[in-house]
Amino acid sequence: MSTPSAIRKVYQGITERHQMFRMFDRHAQRPHRFEGNASALYAGEWFEITERAHDYMYEILPPLWIRGSMFAMREFLIGSVTSVFFALRIDGVIRYFHSYCDLSDRGSVEDMRLAIIERETRPVRAMTRDERLEHIWSATADAYRGYSDETAAQYLPGQRVIALYTGAGATRLKLLDDLTDDEIATKLPVQLRRIPDAAAAA
């Protein structure tokens, strides 16, 4: 099970410490977790953190390297993928970010830095459909998200599923990628429902 790999924002807003640690392994429930190479699942993910969390991660272990306002964690998550932390000045304010970069790709760190700056300096605040889905996945408790398995009506190996409430108060599982616009809106916090679609805002 390996798909993503493009640079992608996976949470809207600034994560608090507890949420940040949850985000470090958003794919812990994946089937056959310790088999194969899941580097592509993690490489390219990024989200915003607090200054305090950034400083804590800097002090927890000696960094693998420090380059200006960014540093990499010495412990690799999987393969050649590790955490890279950024302190970036955006619109005159220093903001802090966590990302997963594949260090076997020499350009991955700089590509990530540029992508974060580009995403966070857009003149119009907007979200893509993929960003909405990633936020839902990141914000949902483990008990209400998972991966499709042989017991699913339409078995799609490794596809993410999310629990939806039915009118009767029960829950049913649906593929994350198949959520309708109305279902996405229901799953998002109120403040994010009002943000326009990035395609429409362009």
DSSP string of 18-75, one letter each residue? HHHHHHTTTTTT-TTTTSS--HHHHTTEEEEE-HHHHHHHHHHS--SEEETTEEE-SS
8 A C-beta contact, residue 47 and residue 10: yes
Point out which residues pair with 174 in neighbouring strands: 162
pLDDT digits (tens, 9 = 90+) for 51-87: 999 999 999 989 999 999 999 999 998 889 999 999 9
Asked if residue 175 has pLDDT above 50, the reply is yes
CA 193 to chain centre: 18
- The amino acid present at 119, given as its one-letter code, is R
Rounded to whole angstroms, the Cα distance separating 159 from 142 reads 15
| pLDDT value of position 202 | 40
Asked if residue 46 has pLDDT above 90, the reply is yes
pLDDT digits (tens, 9 = 90+) for 88-115: 999 899 999 999 999 999 899 999 999 9
| pLDDT value of position 2 | 46
CA proximity to 193, closest of 201, 184, 44, 202: 184
Rounded to whole angstroms, the Cα distance separating 30 from 21 reads 17
Share above pLDDT 70 across residues of the chain, in percent, rounded to a whole number: 86
Asked if residue 200 has pLDDT above 50, the reply is no
Rounded to whole angstroms, the Cα distance separating 160 from 180 reads 15
CA 202 to chain centre: 23
N-to-C CA span, the chain: 33
> Any alpha helices (H) in 121-151, and if so which ranges?
129-139
CA proximity to 137, closest of 7, 5, 30: 30
| pLDDT value of position 192 | 84
8 A C-beta contact, residue 140 and residue 134: no
Is pLDDT larger for residue 154 or for residue 88? 88
| pLDDT value of position 189 | 86
CB atoms closer than 10 angstroms to residue 1: 17
Across the chain, mean pLDDT equals: 85
